[in-house]
Amino acid sequence: MTAHAHSTMFSNKPWMFVDRIVALQPNERIVTLKNISGSDCFVRGHFPNYSVYPGLLLTEGMKQSAQLLLAHSGWMAEEASFRQLSARYLCPVRPGDQVIYELSMQDVTDLDGEVTTQWAGGGRIDEQRAFHMKFILITKEHRKEAQ
Amino acid sequence: MGEKVTAADMLMLLPHQAPLRLVDDILEYVPGMRMVAQFQPASLYPYCRESYVPEALLMEGLAQTAVLFTQLETEELKEDDFPLLGNVEAATFCQAGWEDTLMFTVTPLRFAHRRSLLQGIAHTASGKRLIRVSLGLAVSNVKEIPQ
């Protein structure tokens, strides 16, 4: 599976940190990609003498990838927030890089409409691991009714 | 730096520029103890348009406060230096609205050569606790990165 992500994302431009869905297995894992450009507005001031993609926007990209997997697995995912996060950044991500996000859903709990999901994954540039993280995401909607 | 350094002097040490410049003012700096910074997130709403301030922005604001605090405690960034986020551990408590005034408080855990470990908490001016983090920062230099 490969598809442009923007039509199914819940965020608004320019707060969109996934360009394409590369692979997806509902309720299990998703692989997405983001092309980093020097014309990205968030790179403009980060920094004046050198361009580094902000690490916390990579974190947001992982969260948006998780939302995509939730949505493609039949869960409502519009309102998602981190409850816990553990992340390690291994190398700078720079304009010209293509970040591959790989993310697995570890667990899901639906309690009175508050859905808690646990995730683990990371990002790479070519074959180099750029970061890895685990996080817990909260969404506050019930599972969609079967279509 | 001497004792007469002003908040404006301190803010000049922050390399981050708009739109991802998340410190408006320094409210308190106690050498060796803590720094408290303030930020009004409303200016970022057009870039994001989420219903609340994303946690990634709260973490970035704490990281930028930590960059300022670290420079005052150790040494200023040199020409072609830039700060890098090494790791983050975060736990969230509640969400911030775009009209909230955000307060970032950071305290030191450890300073080493071009590396630092700090903890921080973001809350609103009314005292609502938003997120708690520990942050690992490093300083890199343009000349150290393969081009």
> What does pLDDT average to over chain A?
90
Backbone angles phi, psi at A12, to 5 degrees: -110, 150
ipTM confidence score: 0.93
- Contact across the interface for A47 and B17, Cβ inside 8 Å: yes
For position A144, what pLDDT does the model report? 46
**Mean pLDDT to the nearest integer, A65-89:** 93
Structure-derived torsion over alpha carbons of residues B86, A118, A99, B84, reported in degrees to the nearest 10: -10
Burial of B1 (0-12, 13-18, 19+ CB in 10 A): middle
By the CB < 8 Å criterion, does B50 face chain A?
A: yes
Catalytic choice (A4, A46, A72, A142): A46
CB B58 within 8 A of CB B130: yes
Residue A21 pLDDT exceeds 50:
yes
Whether residue A4 lies in the annotated active site: no
pLDDT band, residue A67 (cuts 50/70/90): very high
pLDDT in tens, A88-140: 999 999 999 999 999 999 999 988 878 999 999 999 999 999 999 999 999 97
**Mean pLDDT to the nearest integer, B107-134:** 96
> Is residue B43 helix, strand or coil?
helix
Task: State the alpha helices, DSSP H only, in chain B.
Answer: 7-11, 45-48, 55-73
Tell how strand A29-35 and strand A20-25 pair up: antiparallel
Residues 104-143 of A with CB under 8 A from B: none
Residue A141 pLDDT exceeds 70:
no
pLDDT in tens, B21-78: 999 999 999 999 999 999 999 999 999 999 999 999 999 999 999 999 999 999 999 9
Identify all chain B residues contacting A87, using CB atoms and an 8 Å cutoff.
87-89
CA angle B87, A53, A129 (to 5 degrees): 55
pLDDT in tens, B39-49: 999 999 999 99
Cα–Cα dist A9/A71, whole Å: 9
Nearest CA in chain A to B44: A15
> What does pLDDT average to over chain B?
94
Backbone angles phi, psi at B122, to 5 degrees: -110, 135
B83 Cβ neighbours under 8 A, 6+ residues apart: B15, B67, B70, B77, B137, B138, B139, B140
**Mean pLDDT to the nearest integer, A44-61:** 93
Query: Which range (A58-62, A139-143, B123-127) has the least confidence?
Result: A139-143
**Model pTM score:** 0.94
Of B80, B86, B88, the CB nearest to A49: B80
Residue A146 pLDDT exceeds 90:
no
Tell me the count of A-B CB pairs closer than 8 A.
Answer: 99
CB A122 within 8 A of CB A133: yes
